[in-house]
Amino acid sequence: MNSKERVHKVLRHQEPDRVPYDLGATTVTSITKNAYKSAMKYKNLSADYQKMEIDPVQQIVTPIEANLVKLKVDTRRIGALRIPDYPVRKRLNGRIETVTDFYGCDWLWNPEKDFYFNQMNYPLEEYDTLSECVNKLYHPDWDDFVAILRRDLSNQIKAADGYCCVADRHTAGLTENSLRVRGHEKWYMDSIVDPEGVESLIEIFMQDKILYWDAVIDWAIENKWQDQIDVISECDDLGSQTSTILHPDTLRTMVIPYFKKLYAHLKKRLPDVKIFMHSCGAIREIIPDFIDAGVDILNPVQYTASEMDLAGLKKDFGKDITFWGGGIDTQQTLNNGTPQEVRDKVKEIIDIMAPGGGFVFTPVHNIQDDVSPENFWAMWETLQEYGKY
């Protein structure tokens, strides 16, 4: 059984030979540069990573192919870099780096004090209402962007044969992008005083996503790769640690319908593709809305958030959705626990989530700098030993 077959079986809610493992197939299931280097050096493996940094803002990397094979990773990513044509557009000021994202937000990283890039501006913040400024949203040159995308896809697809091929998004989610261009305080106020403006901006982001995915799918069809794309990965962080970011009823009317339109378009173009939805936080109440919208896969399964108990999620939604994540908590256990605590937690979660398929192992979000190599390997070795069916 190869990796593609293994993941396909899990997505059909069947039990393969072992629990599939994802590292680096999306920008939310990866590992930071420093954590990766430390973990690989600990086992005398190459600390090299793929030259195309898929998301420098998060400081994450994709392991070189040889390490993906050694780590028995069942997935491979294709898709745009999160910063268009990075590092060509990277500007240096001494050791301080700044980059500009798809919608004109500037990000700065000072390696002497920062873990990640920090957002420096909110392009639409100065306006009184969203309704008056949605048409002022910055976009890069689309033809240039698509040319770079097609080049990157051609390079990435070569490594995907025999693996679960995940086509990953090019920007953040609908509300995440809204917050980034408008500013958090202004956008939350807009959701109350200017809901029409909020939806107009979300509509623009949705249409941009359709353009992006059409470019990916058109490329795949031209190159006869459309049947190789197994999963399309999208996102929007609609939860906090304790609740959804807006009232669930507001999300049901203002946000989720646009995802439903997007996912219907994608499944019309690629009927067999599975839709992966990333949303951190306490989102249990809107999981049925995700399923209704066409979501097949839920990530990151943040089980430490309110009402996100894994056993309850598996019982209530395990027949309708695949859990791609929840393998171990990255806020407490993987970073602060002992290697034995990591092993015990991984075993506990496999016991809950693996029966009947519908589970791909990856931690809750990206592996961060504060994860020791001992804990990384305790997680990985336990998965290999205990994750067999």
Domains of the chain: 3-88+123-386 (3.20.20.210)
Q: What is the pLDDT of residue 232?
A: 98
Cβ pair 62, 89 in contact under 8 A: no
Residues in the chain: 389
Q: ω before 300 within 30° of 0 (cis)?
A: yes
Q: What is the pLDDT of residue 87?
A: 57
Q: What is the pLDDT of residue 54?
A: 83
Q: What is the pLDDT of residue 24?
A: 97
Cβ pair 242, 282 in contact under 8 A: yes
Q: What is the pLDDT of residue 84?
A: 72
Q: What is the pLDDT of residue 51?
A: 81
Cβ pair 149, 213 in contact under 8 A: no
* Sheet strands (E) in 148-305: 164-168, 229-235, 274-278, 297-299
Q: How far apart are CA 280 and CA 286, in angstroms?
A: 12
Mean pLDDT per segment of 10 residues, for the chain of length 389 residues? 98 98 97 97 96 87 97 97 69 79 92 91 96 94 93 91 97 97 97 97 98 98 95 97 97 98 98 98 98 98 98 98 98 97 98 98 97 98 97
Assign 3-class secondary structure to 163-196: CEEEEECCCCCHHHHHHHHHCHHHHHHHHHHCHH
Greatest CA span in the chain, whole angstroms?
Answer: 58
Distance between alpha carbon 84 and the CA centroid of its chain, in Å? Answer: 17
Q: How many CB atoms lie within 10 A of CB 348?
A: 12
